[in-house]
Structures are given as structure tokens and as C-alpha cells.
Amino acid sequence: MPATPDPASLQPRPGLRFAGAALGLVLPLLLALGLELAVRFGVMEGRLTPPPSKIITTLSGLVASGEWFSHAFATLKRVAFGFGIGASLGILIGALSGAMLLVRRLIDPAIQALRAVPSIAWVPLFILWFGIFETSKITLIAVGVFFPVYLGVLGAVLAVDRKIIEVGRVFRLSRFDLARRIMLPATLPALVISLRAGLGLGWMFVVAAEIMGASEGLGFLLIDGQQVGRPDLIIAAIFSFALLGFLTDWLLDHATRPLLVWRDDLSSSEGA
């Protein structure tokens, strides 16, 4: 069609887009530079507010000695197990609860009541039940991940368009095929969102679990830094959490994108 403008001209130019992203870096970089200069010229003392150069030195020291990797691995392992268990249970129970009215009537009120308990409140009980080692930590993370995933999946199943389900009925799909060929793809976008929300909470609760008592992990570095009075160590750990949290979320987002290219909403248009 001649009236259609060239799609490339509808996109912002790459150079402009890059400049837009760079604009967001100006404020944090200025702050970092200001702190660095203030400490360097003696305006600030810097013991409790370590300048960026100090943090970078600490972080690269941790990486060079390999310590960073063993802490990060310990934390990642806990998140992976907790997220895996919590998300699987959330998907399974959420789907059952969404698909069967009886199941929903039976378990949803209890789950909603448990959801009202701040998950950290379980910690003392989990320590009594599961000891102070990995089991109680992973359980806490799994509990934290379970609720957003359960809620997201339940909501997604209940929101599947009746008209689309009727298409499946007209073509005489079995209950199993209806779940596999209609319900699963129809709920997939919401499922991915709830998994990402769950992963975010997983990272939150791993910090809580490691602060309560651990001998390794990034959360241990936080407490260690506090006890030996090294704010640079604390900030290095905080940076590591931000980095890993961002990376795992990015991975989840991009790994699921090929499954969702069919969407006809804002997410499918470039630059959204």
C-alpha cells in the first residue's frame, strides 16, 4: 500500500534512543562523582560514606580472590531452589484452583488468609521446624514466591475469554486438550508476569533468610560488613544483589519472549 509510511521512519532514530537512555545516567554519575571529589578533597570523612573508587576496589578484590563467586553462587542456589519450588506449586495449585470451582472454594480462602501473614513472620517457626541451615531458608523463599505466582495464575485462568474456550468446545477438545491448547497459551502472558513478580520476591526473601544467619552468601556479606564496620562491603553486596536480580529477571523476560510474540498489545510494538 503506497499510503503506508516506511515503518523504519516511525521508529525513533537509534542515535536519539541511545541519547535518551544516556540521559538517565547523568544524575547517578554526577552524585557518584560529587561523593568521590568530596572525599578526595576532605570535605567529607568517607569512613561511613565510602567513595565509588573504594567500593570498586572492594568489589574487584572480592572477585579476584574468588570470594564473590562462592557467595553469589550460594545465594543464587537458594533463590533457584526456592523459586523453583514456590513457582511450581504456585502454578499447579493456582491452575487447579482456577479450573475447578470445588478446589477454589476449598483452598482459596485458606491461601488468602495465609497470604495476609507477612512472610518474614514465619522465620522463627521455620527455624524451629527445619533447623538453621538451607531447608529453612529455601522454604522461606519458596513461601515468598508462591503467593504472587498463585494469585497471578488463578487470576489468569479465571480471565480466559469464554469465547475462545467455546472455540475449543466446538472442535470437541478433551478437558486435557482444552487445558493444553487453549488455557495454557491464553494464560501464558499473565503467567510470565507473575513469575517475574515471584522472582523479585525470591530475591527479597533470600536477603531476609541470609541476614537471619548464614555463613556464606551475599546476605552474609551485608551482616559481615555491618559487624566489622565496613560500609564499602555492604554497598558492594547491595550492588551484587541489584546486578543479579536484574540479570535473572532479564533472562526470564527474554527466555519467554519467543513464546509471546503473537501478542497484539503495547508489548508487541517496538520501544514499549
Establish if 164 lies at the interface with another protein (CB under 8 A).
yes
By C-beta, is 204 or 260 nearer to another protein?
A: 260
Reduced to 3 states (helix: H, G, I; strand: E, B; else coil), residue 216 is coil
> For the chain, how many helices (H) and strands (E)?
13, 0
Binding segment toward another protein, per CB under 8 A, in 25-33, 130-138, 167-175, 236-244 = 167-175
Smallest gap from residue 265 Cβ to another protein (A):
9
What is the per-residue burial (b if ≥16 Cβ within 10 Å, else e) of 196-232? bbbbebbbbbbbbbbbbebebbbbbbbbbbeeeebbb
Give residue for cell 547523568. 26
Answer whether 239's CB lies under 8 Å from 55's CB: yes
Establish if 171 lies at the interface with another protein (CB under 8 A).
yes
Smallest gap from residue 8 Cβ to another protein (A):
18
By C-beta, is 85 or 188 nearer to another protein?
A: 188
The footprint of another protein on this chain (CB under 8 A) covers a number of residues equal to 19
Q: Which of 167, 242, 247, 251 binds another protein (CB under 8 A)?
A: 167
Q: Which of 169, 246, 247, 251 binds another protein (CB under 8 A)?
A: 169
Smallest gap from residue 101 Cβ to another protein (A):
16
Smallest gap from residue 142 Cβ to another protein (A):
30
Q: Which of 102, 176, 262, 271 binds another protein (CB under 8 A)?
A: 262
Cα distance between residue 55 and residue 168, in whole Å: 58
Smallest gap from residue 138 Cβ to another protein (A):
34
Cα distance between residue 160 and residue 190, in whole Å: 11
Answer whether 61's CB lies under 8 Å from 117's CB: no
